[in-house]
């Protein structure tokens, strides 16, 4: 018999603790952030699937906690658990080591820790549509950047919003928000109000001469390079070419 209900009345961690009593099946979650699913075998979560992460398998993988974290971001929604028939799960023995309940508790702890850290990021970067600007001057007049932050700073100098930064670097919502938050904490970029998304371009009218917008000047890039007080201009220039 299927089990279904609302996340307003029972949370995902509570459901997983209930299913840890040897249950097998698939739980589909439809939250305000979109649909997702969890697969349970003999009380253990063995796979998760969300729009952002795709499918994550192997119940021993640390990445599985990220799948559950993504589902926990939805505070409202519905769920439906469809159990497997006994013969479908009969060949899948319980994993050695911890009990199913202990495994669920460990997974929930990891996912809720990710969620708590994400809430702190959201305070600084509440939306992908917020404006991002390179600070006029680094803190105390100087700044040292590691290699991982250079591409983010250069992308921020060329972008209007956090979403633009993510698109330039190929980072999803969570990854780009963390990256921008780090630069905000370092005093290298500032966050502004949300900006309206760019309108979708319509088909060109053959009777109207197209408007060609000039490429923005290089000042933004030069401002980003100016933060490298260690004299790593060549490295910055190489990264700049990478993200053209």
The region of weakest confidence among 11-20, 151-160, 168-177, 218-227 is 218-227
- Residue 181 pLDDT > 50: yes
Q: How far is CA 109 from the centre of its chain?
A: 19
Q: Which of the 8 DSSP states describes residue 136?
A: S
- State the pLDDT at residue 223: 43
d(CA 28, CA 49): 9
pLDDT (average), residues 85-114? 74
Distance CA 22, CA 16 (A): 11
Q: Which of 177, 161, 147, 153 has the alpha carbon at shortest distance from 227?
A: 153
Distance CA 80, CA 191 (A): 39
Beta-carbon count within 10 A of 49 CB: 20
Strand-pair partners of 130: 194
What is the spatial distance between Cα 190 and Cα 135, in angstroms, rounded to a whole number? 6
pLDDT of 74 strictly over 60: yes
SS3 assignment, position 27: strand
Round to whole Å and give the CA distance between 205 and 228: 46
> Residue 203: its pLDDT value, please?
54
Sign of CA dihedral 37, 39, 40, 44: negative
For the stretch 174-178, contacts whose Cβ atoms lie closer than 8 Å and that sit 24 or more positions apart, written own/partner, are 174/52, 174/118, 176/128, 177/121, 177/122, 177/125, 177/128, 178/121
pTM of the model: 0.73
What Cα–Cα distance (Å) separates residue 164 from each residue in 9, 76, 141, 176, 239? 37, 28, 27, 10, 17
**Dihedral through CA 8, CA 10, CA 16, CA 19, nearest 10?**
-130
Distance, in Å, from the CA atom of 210 to the CA atom of 42, rounded to the nearest integer, reads: 63
**Can you give the residue ranges of every domain in the chain?**
3-87+94-124, 130-242
pLDDT over 70 at 138, yes or no? yes
Q: How far apart are CA 167 and CA 92, in angstroms?
A: 41
In angstroms, the CA 32 to CA 73 distance is: 9
For the stretch 202-223, pLDDT in tens is: 555 555 554 443 434 344 444 4
Whole-number pLDDT of residue 174: 95
Q: What is the DSSP letter of 108?
A: H
């Amino acid at each position: 018999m299927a089990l279904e209900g609302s996340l307003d009345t029972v949370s995902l961690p509570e459901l997983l603790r209930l299913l840890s009593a040897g249950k097998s099946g698939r739980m589909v979650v439809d939250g305000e952030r979109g649909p997702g699913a969890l697969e349970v075998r003999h009380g253990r979560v063995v796979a998760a699937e969300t729009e952002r992460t795709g499918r994550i398998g192997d119940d021993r993988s640390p990445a599985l906690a990220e799948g559950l974290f993504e589902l926990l971001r939805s505070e409202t929604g519905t769920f439906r658990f469809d159990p497997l028939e006994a013969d479908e799960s009969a060949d899948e023995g319980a994993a050695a080591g911890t009990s199913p309940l202990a495994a669920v508790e460990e997974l929930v702890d990891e996912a809720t820790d990710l969620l708590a850290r994400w809430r702190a990021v959201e305070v600084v970067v509440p939306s992908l549509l917020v404006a991002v600007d390179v600070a006029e001057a680094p803190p105390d007049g100087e700044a040292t950047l590691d290699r991982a932050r250079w591409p983010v700073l250069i992308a921020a100098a060329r972008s209007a919003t956090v979403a633009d930064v993510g698109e330039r670097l190929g980072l999803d919502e969570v990854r780009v928000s963390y990256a921008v938050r780090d630069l905000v904490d370092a005093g290298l970029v500032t966050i502004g109000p949300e900006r309206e998304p760019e309108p979708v371009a319509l088909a060109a009218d053959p009777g109207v001469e197209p408007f060609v917008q000039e490429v923005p000047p290089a000042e933004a890039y030069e401002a980003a390079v100016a933060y490298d007080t260690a004299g790593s201009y060549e490295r910055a220039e190489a990264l700049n070419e990478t993200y053209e």
